[in-house]
Amino acid sequence: MRCQFCHCEDSKVVDSRPTDDGASIRRRRECINCGKRFTTYEKVETIQLLVIKKDQTREVFDADKIRDGIIHACHKRPVTAKDIDALVAQIEQVCYNSLQREIPTHKIGEMVMEALRTLDEVAYVRFASVYHQFTDIPTFMHELSRLMKENRAKEQETGAK
């Protein structure tokens, strides 16, 4: 790290601590040449993840959009803010850990639905109805029937063990 006073490239770290938000590390450094102290910040460089929308346009990944959709689906349900935050963090982590620079919205939507299915079935159905754009009652009932069959199969599997 170059000293801002004498431009020497040799310095030593005197103190390191995380910033208040935990997103970076604050380092106090001392120049080996002139002895003056200065502060630097170090943070992880993330790749910019783009989301491919249905119309093939791209936009920057925004976890707040996922959070908003989940909050709407969980409205008046016994789902805590902590649960929602954990779900959003999990999906965000999977997206970034995929090491792909672009991810289609349908993959994100499927991840949200899968997570909501285990968290709260009513929230799952609400999210699925908007995500799949159910336009009539038979389509909606088909999804409910599928969910009920899956639940019965799980109950039978659990009861058999």
Contact present, 113 and 128 (Cβ < 8 Å): yes
The mean pLDDT value for 137-142 works out to: 79
The mean pLDDT value for 73-82 works out to: 93
Residue 107: name the closest of 124, 95, 97 by CA. Answer: 95
Q: What is the per-residue pLDDT for 43?
A: 81
Look up the pTM and report it: 0.63
- For 30, the 3-state DSSP assignment is strand
Q: What is the pLDDT of residues 78-95, one digit of tens each?
A: 999 999 999 999 999 999
Alpha-carbon torsion (113, 118, 123, 129), positive or negative? positive
Q: How many residues are present in the chain?
A: 161
Residue 72: name the closest of 114, 141, 139, 122 by CA. Answer: 122
Residue 125 CB coordination number (10 Å)? 18
Flag whether pLDDT at 160 surpasses 70: no
Give the Cα separation of 45 and 24 in Å (integer): 10
Backbone angles phi, psi at 18, to 5 degrees: -70, 150
Flag whether pLDDT at 99 surpasses 70: yes
Of residues 71 and 24, the one with the higher pLDDT is: 71
Strand 11-18: give its sheet, edge to edge: 11-18, 24-31, 37-43
Of residues 25 and 132, the one with the higher pLDDT is: 25
Q: What is the pLDDT of residues 114-131, one digit of tens each?
A: 999 889 988 988 888 887
